[in-house]
Amino acid sequence: MKKEPLDIASDGTETIDPAQQRQTLKFLFTPAAPPKDEPVANVHAKASTQVGDTIDALRAAFGETVGEVVEYAGEQTVFVEREQIVEVVRFLKEQGFTYLSDLGSIDRFTEDDRFEVFYSLCHIPRRKRIRVKLRVGDGVPVPSITSVHRSADWHEREAWDMMGIPFDGHPDLRRMFMPEDFEYHPARKEFPTLGIPGSLPLPPQENDGEITMDPFARAHGNVPED
């Protein structure tokens, strides 16, 4: 349908009565900004993640076991040795980082040191946060920190269940989401998006149907008859 402008301004802008004509949203092209020589401050950087004094204290206490310090988006991450993780989080707890806000894992999908385990700790009175990371190979156990932070229990169980990272010294390292006899770990990168047919018995698709062994039966063309 051809639009019917009611008025045309000096710059060519047309005004249309919305009650008579359907308008189309304007497409406003924004050209890419040219690169700047001067470094641009990260607007997301926060003072709460700048913990240089804590990192210095870690280096003084643990020496070379405190590895690389990476800063991204204004957040500092400290890499430590796997064997020292319990002592490191205990030291940080004594420094005031008493709240374990998160513990998780990352699959780097590399031959060596395939996984990263990260620990996010908060110093609530100072409003500071620090992230500690370690790298570990496939099947190599990570010392459990549940003796320092009881809340790590749930997180370590999840990392074991979904990623297959064992935690040495965990008081109850059972699977959390998957059955105990499930031999796979679904958060690993090699795990198929549509699951592995035959690996997990699931309820039937019909009331009187049989148990299905295909987690995505419809995606594989197995559609029940009406």
Residue that wins the pLDDT comparison between 226 and 148: 148
pLDDT over threshold 50, residue 45: yes
Per-residue pLDDT at 29: 67
Bridge partner residues of 146 (DSSP): none
Beta strands across the sheet bearing 115-123: 66-72, 75-80, 128-136, 115-123, 99-107
Least confident of 12-21, 50-59, 117-126, 167-176: 12-21
d(CA 120, CA 114) in angstroms, rounded, equals 20
Average pLDDT for 148-155:
97
pLDDT over threshold 70, residue 11: no
Using alpha carbons, select from 70, 71, 66 the residue that is nearest to residue 84: 66
Using alpha carbons, select from 118, 124, 119 the residue that is nearest to residue 99: 124
What's the burial of 211, exposed, middle or buried (CB within 10 Å: 0-12/13-18/19+)? exposed
**pLDDT for 129-141, tens place per residue?**
999 999 999 999 9
**pLDDT for 60-115, tens place per residue?**
999 988 999 998 888 899 999 999 999 999 999 999 999 999 999 999 999 899 99
d(CA 123, CA 210) in angstroms, rounded, equals 54
Average pLDDT for 183-200:
83
Per-residue pLDDT at 43: 73
What's the pLDDT band for 1 if we cut at 50, 70, 90?
very low
Per-residue pLDDT at 8: 62
Per-residue pLDDT at 217: 67
Least confident of 17-26, 54-63, 70-79, 142-151: 17-26
